[in-house]
Structure 1
Amino acid sequence: MDQLDVKISSDFLTAALLIPVECKNISFDNIMQFLAQKKIVYGVKEKNIHQMISEKKIGSYTIIASGKPVERGRPGKIQLLIDTSKIGKPKELKCGKVDHKNLGLIVNVKKGTPLARRIPSVRGSDGITVFGKTLPAPQENDVILRVGTGTEISVSDPNLLVASIDGYLRIAEDTIEVHSQKVINGDIDYATGNISLDGDLKVTGSIKAGFEVHISGSLVVYGCAEETIIKCGGSIQVRNGIAGSGSGLIECGGKLSAKFISNFTVNTDSDCTVYDDILHSSIISHGRVTAKNIVGGYVAAANGIRAKEIGNVSETKTIVDIDHKAMKQKQRSLVLSKLKESKAKLNTEKKILFDYLKNHMDQNGNIQDLDTFDEMKHSLLFLYINFCSLQKQISDLESSLTSPNCPIIKASVVYPNVVANLGNQKRLIKKVEKSVTYEMISDEAPCTKNDIRAISGGGK
């Protein structure tokens, strides 16, 4: 047996045996005894040894033992659950072209939205050499699911990160965040594309012509708003004015303030405050409109209009309207329509949730898929909050309809060719009037000139 030779691989995972010519009649037991002397005890391939003996494999090495190699584990990782692949890429249109104004730079999420999942590391399997010694598997790197601004760990899954607020997604190095306010340093133009945001927006530059802004919260613009479309659920502040050429549109769910408004259409659910002039614009406010001068266009306000001057010396036709009751009733009708739609959605989501519980809850009250259940709960809660908000709007509108307060139009100077509408009464100003206040005595009475009066002031 001393003539037998065995080679061991450098990783100690393979043993190869050579039978010399002088040992051609060696037995299986002799070979096994030889391997025991060499302390080769793991992974011995008896079939290979029998084959060497039966086929008289002389003078060449044959593998007769194999160890178990180390099996690497899996390092931990953070799996992002939000699709970010389209961020910064122009939207593809059905015609095959791309829209460079829609870059998808902002990803909006709702409270409770799953954002990321921690996939823990998995330790590998130890290896074993042909000598029976253990080869330890290396320790794999693990990861930590970090909680950032506007996020939290799911109560039902310690490895799931969810949004704790409504807002937009921000990924900063190793942290995922949700912010309710987005700051754009510069203009909204081709570099940013159109903006669609669930939250508040601050723009340090201007909103350039041709671009759109759709946000659920409030908007602050340090520059100007050019020929654009802005739809905002909260208040709007444009510090350097709003200037268009006739097709610009702003829909504001709160108060609006601007340095000036020129050639624009503005609809606001609350007050509209303009520090300089409103020029050739259509303004509809369900609150009060205040401006330095109002020249041209149509300005309607449910709670009154106040200006230093209305019209101008060129006698530009200017219409001011405080049809309080009609405006409030129209707004109430719109909100009632939204309330009906909201109630239908709420009932549908309730039924879906109840059906889900019926089919996914065991006898002990345990829910099979808590993540899906949490998402459905958050969706239902959002709809309920919206429904309650609409109910309050209806209540406020009905209170204002029964309020004894009478809206007025007040100005230091009113020029000829100004039309003052107060409900179903109309007054055309034919000569300059100073320090006047127009009010409607009765919005139910037939149209007579006595139903509109100038409380103070007179003609020139």
Structure 2
Amino acid sequence: MLQQLLRLSNDGRRVYMTVIPKADENTPRIEKKHIVEWLIDQKVASFFRFEETIVKVLDKINASNDEWKGEPDDVVIAERRDASVAARFDEQKMTAFLRVNGACGGNPIKGSDLLASLKEAQIVRGVKKQTLQKLLTASARLKPGEYLEAPIAAGKWPIPGEDSKLAFLVQDSKARILRPQEREDGTVDMRDLGKMVTVQEGQPLAKRIPPTKGIEGFRVDGKVLPTTPGKDIPLRLFPGSDFSSNDENIVVATTSGMPILHPEGVEVDNALCMKSVTVATGHVDFEGSVVINGDVNAGMRVSATGSITVGGVVETAFLEAGGDIIIHNGILGKQLQGDQEITTRMRAKGSVIVKFAQYAHIEAEGDIIISQHAMHCTTRTNSNLLICDQTKRTGTLTGGNHVARCGVKVVTLGATSGVVTRVHAFTGLEAMMIDTIQLGKELESEHEQLMKVKDAEMKLLQQPANKRPEALIERLAWTKTHHFERIAEIKAKMDSSSSELNTLYRSHTIDVLKHCFPGVYCQIGESTLPVTSELGACRLVTNGKEVYPEPL
């Protein structure tokens, strides 16, 4: 019976099945497997089969004559299908995909079909020709019903232009102390820091690198994505510098002296240069910067409105600078009676940079950087305290009291002997907490005032309409609006303060890069952690209530 129900179309592209009722009740049931066997015999098993249609047809054919509904009919249950291809984009049209559906008894996909699909979908840029060829080759191996999808084209996001930059053509005297000279055999001489950094009149100081235009991007449909050019940040002229007559992008020195590097340019300080400061030279009090090639002897005082640079050692002396204090070797102080009496004092409105220090009192508005070790010193900075060299392998802080408004970074903190060392970071936390508490009190006060206004409104509404003063109604409405606005303003400040505080908790920390020994007292804000057992590399942080270590 199955041979009578199934047939191929004249062009051999479709399989029809006649839907008629069974001859009688004894006629065997026709199952799907019988149809599949027939398709295999006819060598059309690879045709695409309409599975749902086959199920419905079999239900009708296998039904009894009493249940039969409808008229006999021919239904297509399978057909030959050529391989097909379809294109799609991602949401931003930055990537395009081609999907190839395998042939079902039909012809495989051709290269022209892939190109036609790209053209129809308007995929015109970023097409990967090699991927296209691979997709064509792989599609020939697809079995009937299988598909393959691959990204075939990719757009490019625009690259914004870079702002103009400043390239320094002279050394930074601050960095020299952290970078000792290398010998011919590759070893490093920690005592040799090279010659003092000075410049001569007419010497190039810095070069401005112009901004770049940026590179346009594109989507796979061909739309151009515009870029943004870099900002043209002009060079700034500082005292002692001017534009080169040959190139407006180069700044040269107009006088001999010591270069001071700024983010926007270079200043040349016509410094006072001295071999050393001794009893023979007397104390130094100079309007400008002072460069001392040798040592500052015990009991001497050096004061300058600019920076002070010392090439040798400072002994039990007093240095005060309106700029930076840079000591290429170290500070050798001595203790008289207890830690409270330290004879050597450094005070700078800029940074203090030194190789080592012992029994010294150091104050700075900027960073305090000690590259090797600080022993029994007192330091106070409105910025960061850094006890480490550029490699972050050397830097020991032992004994004394150390206060930093921001963070502290040290390689080794304390000593195995358990000498008491006190470190206090993030000193500005208490003031921020007080401000937060004050904002909370202001918010509470505004809510109380708002409730009073609402109570007054309720009492006013209880009076007859003709006895409600218009002026009072307007004043209450204005006052209520004012309190609402003030509450919103305070809440915004509190949210901003909370966000800023959370950021500072993670940046104003005490970082120990190698070892932290017992005897150290670490304070962040108002919370203190006494270190009772040796810690490895860690970061001491606070949440505003306690100090605790985290692994680095």
Please report the TM-score for the alignment, with normalisation by the length of structure 2.
Answer: 0.35
* Greater RCO (CA < 8 Å, at least 6 residues apart): 1
Which of structures 1 and 2 has the bigger CA Rg?
Answer: 2
Please report the TM-score for the alignment, with normalisation by the length of structure 1.
Answer: 0.42
